[in-house]
Structure 1
Protein backbone atom coordinates (compact mmCIF):
# COMPACT_ATOMS: atom_id res chain seq x y z
CA UNK A 1 0.00 0.00 0.00
CA UNK A 2 1.36 3.43 -0.87
CA UNK A 3 1.94 6.11 1.72
CA UNK A 4 -0.45 8.43 -0.12
CA UNK A 5 -3.31 5.96 0.34
CA UNK A 6 -2.47 5.57 4.03
CA UNK A 7 -2.66 9.35 4.47
CA UNK A 8 -5.96 9.36 2.59
CA UNK A 9 -7.36 6.46 4.65
CA UNK A 10 -6.34 8.08 7.95
CA UNK A 11 -7.76 11.37 6.75
CA UNK A 12 -11.11 9.85 5.82
CA UNK A 13 -11.27 7.86 9.07
CA UNK A 14 -10.58 10.87 11.26
CA UNK A 15 -12.91 13.12 9.25
CA UNK A 16 -15.73 10.60 9.65
CA UNK A 17 -15.04 10.14 13.37
CA UNK A 18 -15.03 13.90 13.88
CA UNK A 19 -18.31 14.33 12.01
CA UNK A 20 -19.87 11.37 13.83
CA UNK A 21 -19.12 13.07 17.15
CA UNK A 22 -21.62 15.80 16.22
CA UNK A 23 -24.43 13.30 15.53
CA UNK A 24 -26.40 12.99 18.79
CA UNK A 25 -27.66 9.45 18.14
CA UNK A 26 -24.04 8.20 17.92
CA UNK A 27 -23.06 9.83 21.22
CA UNK A 28 -23.85 7.91 24.40
CA UNK A 29 -23.62 9.11 27.95
CA UNK A 30 -22.77 6.72 30.80
CA UNK A 31 -25.68 4.76 32.28
CA UNK A 32 -27.63 6.53 34.97
CA UNK A 33 -26.44 9.95 33.88
CA UNK A 34 -28.42 12.84 32.50
CA UNK A 35 -27.32 14.98 29.55
CA UNK A 36 -26.63 17.85 31.96
CA UNK A 37 -24.53 15.86 34.43
CA UNK A 38 -22.88 12.72 33.01
CA UNK A 39 -21.47 10.29 35.53
CA UNK A 40 -17.69 10.01 35.79
CA UNK A 41 -17.24 13.13 33.69
CA UNK A 42 -13.75 14.50 34.18
CA UNK A 43 -13.21 18.09 35.17
CA UNK A 44 -13.24 19.65 31.71
CA UNK A 45 -13.24 23.40 31.16
CA UNK A 46 -14.81 22.70 27.77
CA UNK A 47 -17.49 20.10 28.45
CA UNK A 48 -19.89 20.91 25.59
CA UNK A 49 -20.88 17.78 23.72
CA UNK A 50 -19.18 15.44 26.19
CA UNK A 51 -20.08 11.80 25.71
CA UNK A 52 -18.84 8.52 24.31
CA UNK A 53 -18.72 8.18 20.54
CA UNK A 54 -20.28 4.80 19.69
CA UNK A 55 -20.26 4.17 23.45
CA UNK A 56 -16.48 3.65 23.28
CA UNK A 57 -14.48 6.83 22.80
CA UNK A 58 -14.81 9.75 25.23
CA UNK A 59 -15.06 12.98 23.26
CA UNK A 60 -16.43 16.51 23.21
CA UNK A 61 -17.07 19.12 20.52
CA UNK A 62 -13.48 20.40 20.57
CA UNK A 63 -12.11 16.86 20.21
CA UNK A 64 -14.44 16.33 17.25
CA UNK A 65 -13.23 19.55 15.63
CA UNK A 66 -9.60 18.45 16.04
CA UNK A 67 -10.41 15.11 14.43
CA UNK A 68 -12.06 16.88 11.50
CA UNK A 69 -8.99 19.11 11.04
CA UNK A 70 -6.64 16.11 11.17
CA UNK A 71 -8.87 14.32 8.66
CA UNK A 72 -8.94 17.24 6.23
CA UNK A 73 -5.13 17.50 6.44
CA UNK A 74 -4.82 13.79 5.64
CA UNK A 75 -7.10 14.07 2.64
CA UNK A 76 -5.23 17.16 1.41
CA UNK A 77 -1.84 15.45 1.85
CA UNK A 78 -2.94 12.68 -0.50
CA UNK A 79 -2.28 15.00 -3.45
CA UNK A 80 1.52 14.60 -3.27
CA UNK A 81 4.04 12.04 -2.12
CA UNK A 82 5.97 14.61 -0.08
CA UNK A 83 2.80 15.84 1.58
CA UNK A 84 1.76 12.29 2.46
CA UNK A 85 5.18 11.51 3.98
CA UNK A 86 5.08 14.72 6.01
CA UNK A 87 1.53 13.99 7.16
CA UNK A 88 2.16 10.37 8.19
CA UNK A 89 5.36 11.27 10.03
CA UNK A 90 3.79 14.22 11.81
CA UNK A 91 0.68 12.18 12.58
CA UNK A 92 2.77 9.34 14.03
CA UNK A 93 4.79 11.60 16.30
CA UNK A 94 1.80 13.65 17.45
CA UNK A 95 -0.48 10.68 18.10
CA UNK A 96 2.15 8.69 19.98
CA UNK A 97 2.54 11.71 22.26
CA UNK A 98 -1.25 12.08 22.53
CA UNK A 99 -1.60 8.40 23.46
CA UNK A 100 1.06 8.82 26.15
CA UNK A 101 -0.75 11.90 27.43
CA UNK A 102 -3.90 9.79 27.69
CA UNK A 103 -2.12 7.46 30.11
CA UNK A 104 -1.08 10.19 32.55
CA UNK A 105 -3.73 11.48 34.98
CA UNK A 106 -2.49 15.06 34.79
CA UNK A 107 -2.65 15.21 30.98
CA UNK A 108 -5.38 12.71 30.08
CA UNK A 109 -7.84 15.54 29.49
CA UNK A 110 -5.34 17.73 27.60
CA UNK A 111 -5.13 19.91 30.69
CA UNK A 112 -8.92 20.07 31.01
CA UNK A 113 -9.82 20.75 27.37
CA UNK A 114 -10.59 17.42 25.68
CA UNK A 115 -10.61 13.77 26.81
CA UNK A 116 -7.73 11.53 25.68
CA UNK A 117 -8.20 8.64 28.10
CA UNK A 118 -9.95 5.27 27.88
CA UNK A 119 -10.32 3.66 24.48
CA UNK A 120 -8.79 6.74 22.86
CA UNK A 121 -5.36 5.56 24.03
CA UNK A 122 -5.29 2.26 22.13
CA UNK A 123 -7.01 3.78 19.10
CA UNK A 124 -4.46 6.60 18.92
CA UNK A 125 -1.57 4.15 19.36
CA UNK A 126 -2.89 1.91 16.60
CA UNK A 127 -3.36 4.82 14.19
CA UNK A 128 0.09 6.21 15.10
CA UNK A 129 1.69 2.80 14.56
CA UNK A 130 0.21 2.51 11.08
CA UNK A 131 1.31 6.05 10.21
CA UNK A 132 4.81 5.43 11.64
CA UNK A 133 5.28 2.25 9.63
CA UNK A 134 4.35 3.87 6.33
CA UNK A 135 5.97 7.23 7.12
CA UNK A 136 9.27 6.06 8.59
CA UNK A 137 9.94 2.36 8.04
CA UNK A 138 8.36 1.02 4.86
CA UNK A 139 10.77 1.09 1.90
CA UNK A 140 9.68 3.59 -0.72
CA UNK A 141 8.99 2.48 -4.27
CA UNK A 142 10.74 4.86 -6.76
CA UNK A 143 7.49 5.02 -8.74
CA UNK A 144 5.80 6.64 -5.71
CA UNK A 145 8.31 9.48 -5.58
CA UNK A 146 8.17 10.11 -9.31
CA UNK A 147 11.90 9.59 -9.74
CA UNK A 148 12.99 7.47 -12.70
CA UNK A 149 14.71 4.20 -11.94
CA UNK A 150 18.32 3.83 -13.03
CA UNK A 151 19.16 1.08 -15.48
Structure 2
Protein backbone atom coordinates (compact mmCIF):
# COMPACT_ATOMS: atom_id res chain seq x y z
CA UNK A 1 0.00 0.00 0.00
CA UNK A 2 1.40 3.40 -0.93
CA UNK A 3 1.57 6.34 1.43
CA UNK A 4 -1.06 8.13 -0.63
CA UNK A 5 -3.57 5.43 0.26
CA UNK A 6 -2.52 4.78 3.86
CA UNK A 7 -5.78 6.12 5.21
CA UNK A 8 -7.96 3.45 6.84
CA UNK A 9 -10.63 3.37 4.13
CA UNK A 10 -8.38 3.72 1.13
CA UNK A 11 -8.95 7.44 0.89
CA UNK A 12 -6.16 9.95 0.65
CA UNK A 13 -5.21 11.48 4.00
CA UNK A 14 -6.13 15.19 3.72
CA UNK A 15 -3.21 16.20 5.94
CA UNK A 16 -0.66 14.34 3.81
CA UNK A 17 1.78 16.61 2.09
CA UNK A 18 0.72 19.65 4.08
CA UNK A 19 3.18 21.66 6.10
CA UNK A 20 2.98 21.33 9.89
CA UNK A 21 1.70 24.91 10.20
CA UNK A 22 -1.14 24.10 7.80
CA UNK A 23 -2.02 20.95 9.72
CA UNK A 24 -2.00 22.88 13.01
CA UNK A 25 -4.12 25.71 11.60
CA UNK A 26 -6.68 23.28 10.18
CA UNK A 27 -6.77 21.30 13.44
CA UNK A 28 -7.29 24.39 15.58
CA UNK A 29 -9.95 25.55 13.12
CA UNK A 30 -11.83 22.26 13.44
CA UNK A 31 -11.68 22.46 17.24
CA UNK A 32 -13.11 25.99 17.13
CA UNK A 33 -15.94 24.81 14.85
CA UNK A 34 -16.76 21.92 17.18
CA UNK A 35 -16.76 24.17 20.25
CA UNK A 36 -18.92 26.73 18.43
CA UNK A 37 -21.50 24.09 17.55
CA UNK A 38 -21.41 22.52 21.04
CA UNK A 39 -22.21 25.92 22.53
CA UNK A 40 -25.63 25.71 20.85
CA UNK A 41 -26.46 22.21 22.14
CA UNK A 42 -28.61 21.81 25.24
CA UNK A 43 -27.07 19.27 27.59
CA UNK A 44 -23.53 20.06 26.49
CA UNK A 45 -24.32 23.66 27.41
CA UNK A 46 -25.90 23.83 30.85
CA UNK A 47 -28.56 26.45 31.62
CA UNK A 48 -29.25 26.53 27.89
CA UNK A 49 -32.48 28.44 28.53
CA UNK A 50 -30.26 31.31 29.76
CA UNK A 51 -28.27 31.53 26.50
CA UNK A 52 -28.56 35.20 25.56
CA UNK A 53 -27.32 37.04 22.49
CA UNK A 54 -24.51 38.72 24.45
CA UNK A 55 -23.65 40.17 27.82
CA UNK A 56 -22.68 39.03 31.26
CA UNK A 57 -26.29 38.07 32.04
CA UNK A 58 -26.01 34.96 29.84
CA UNK A 59 -26.10 32.09 32.31
CA UNK A 60 -25.36 29.34 29.78
CA UNK A 61 -22.14 27.41 30.38
CA UNK A 62 -20.39 25.13 27.92
CA UNK A 63 -19.54 21.87 29.71
CA UNK A 64 -21.03 23.51 32.82
CA UNK A 65 -17.89 25.65 33.15
CA UNK A 66 -17.30 28.18 30.37
CA UNK A 67 -19.80 31.05 30.14
CA UNK A 68 -21.11 31.42 26.60
CA UNK A 69 -23.58 33.50 24.64
CA UNK A 70 -24.77 33.41 21.05
CA UNK A 71 -22.09 36.00 20.21
CA UNK A 72 -19.40 33.95 21.97
CA UNK A 73 -20.41 30.82 20.01
CA UNK A 74 -20.45 32.75 16.73
CA UNK A 75 -16.92 34.02 17.46
CA UNK A 76 -15.81 30.39 17.88
CA UNK A 77 -17.47 29.42 14.60
CA UNK A 78 -15.87 32.34 12.75
CA UNK A 79 -12.47 31.48 14.26
CA UNK A 80 -12.92 27.92 12.98
CA UNK A 81 -13.78 29.07 9.48
CA UNK A 82 -10.78 31.42 9.52
CA UNK A 83 -8.45 28.63 10.66
CA UNK A 84 -9.60 26.31 7.89
CA UNK A 85 -9.53 29.00 5.21
CA UNK A 86 -6.11 30.25 6.21
CA UNK A 87 -4.70 26.72 6.41
CA UNK A 88 -4.55 26.67 2.61
CA UNK A 89 -1.12 28.33 2.70
CA UNK A 90 1.79 28.25 5.13
CA UNK A 91 1.90 32.06 5.55
CA UNK A 92 -1.86 32.11 6.09
CA UNK A 93 -1.61 29.31 8.63
CA UNK A 94 1.12 31.08 10.56
CA UNK A 95 -0.83 34.35 10.46
CA UNK A 96 -3.92 32.60 11.84
CA UNK A 97 -2.00 30.84 14.59
CA UNK A 98 0.20 33.74 15.70
CA UNK A 99 -2.33 36.51 15.04
CA UNK A 100 -5.27 34.55 16.44
CA UNK A 101 -3.17 33.57 19.44
CA UNK A 102 -2.30 37.22 20.04
CA UNK A 103 -6.02 38.09 19.89
CA UNK A 104 -6.77 35.46 22.53
CA UNK A 105 -3.97 36.78 24.77
CA UNK A 106 -5.49 40.27 24.43
CA UNK A 107 -8.90 38.78 25.27
CA UNK A 108 -7.31 37.24 28.39
CA UNK A 109 -5.94 40.65 29.38
CA UNK A 110 -9.35 42.20 28.72
CA UNK A 111 -10.97 39.60 30.97
CA UNK A 112 -8.48 40.43 33.73
CA UNK A 113 -9.16 44.16 33.77
CA UNK A 114 -12.93 44.39 33.24
CA UNK A 115 -15.60 44.06 35.87
CA UNK A 116 -17.14 40.76 34.76
CA UNK A 117 -20.48 41.84 36.26
CA UNK A 118 -20.69 44.95 34.09
CA UNK A 119 -21.75 45.79 30.56
CA UNK A 120 -18.05 45.70 29.57
CA UNK A 121 -18.32 41.90 29.73
CA UNK A 122 -20.31 41.77 26.50
CA UNK A 123 -18.76 38.56 25.08
CA UNK A 124 -19.19 37.18 28.01
CA UNK A 125 -16.21 35.66 29.81
CA UNK A 126 -15.89 34.15 33.26
CA UNK A 127 -12.77 33.14 35.16
CA UNK A 128 -12.60 29.73 33.46
CA UNK A 129 -12.94 31.33 29.99
CA UNK A 130 -10.28 33.82 30.88
CA UNK A 131 -7.61 31.25 31.76
CA UNK A 132 -8.59 29.11 28.79
CA UNK A 133 -8.04 32.14 26.55
CA UNK A 134 -4.52 32.56 27.94
CA UNK A 135 -3.65 28.90 27.35
CA UNK A 136 -5.25 28.93 23.93
CA UNK A 137 -3.47 32.13 22.92
CA UNK A 138 -0.06 30.95 24.06
CA UNK A 139 -0.64 27.52 22.49
CA UNK A 140 -1.63 29.01 19.14
CA UNK A 141 1.36 31.35 19.13
CA UNK A 142 3.67 28.44 19.98
CA UNK A 143 2.18 26.33 17.17
CA UNK A 144 2.63 29.20 14.72
CA UNK A 145 6.27 29.66 15.68
CA UNK A 146 7.28 26.03 16.16
CA UNK A 147 5.70 24.51 13.04
CA UNK A 148 8.10 26.11 10.60
CA UNK A 149 10.04 23.68 8.50
CA UNK A 150 13.81 24.05 8.65
CA UNK A 151 14.85 25.31 5.19
CA UNK A 152 18.21 23.55 5.55
CA UNK A 153 17.90 19.76 5.33
CA UNK A 154 20.00 17.93 7.86
- Measured against the shorter chain, the TM-score band is 0.7 to 0.9
Question: Which residue matches 2:128?
Answer: 119
Q: CA RMSD in A?
A: 3.1
- For 1:56, which of 56, 65, 74 is the aligned residue? 65
Question: Which residue matches 1:3?
Answer: 21
Superposition pairs of residues 1-151 of structure 1, within 5 angstroms: 2-29=20-47, 35=49, 44=55, 50-106=59-115, 111-136=120-145, 138=146, 140-142=148-150
User: 1:82 deviation in Å?
Assistant: 1.1
TM-score by length of 1: 0.75
Runs of 4+ in 1 over 6 A off after TM superposition: 107-110
How far apart in 2 are the matches of 1:6 and 1:119? 24
Q: Unpaired segments of 5 or more residues in structure 2?
A: 1-18
SS in 2 for 1:92: helix
User: 1:50 deviation in Å?
Assistant: 4.1
Task: Kindly tell me the number of residue pairs found equivalent between the two proteins.
Answer: 135
Q: Unpaired segments of 5 or more residues in structure 1?
A: 144-148
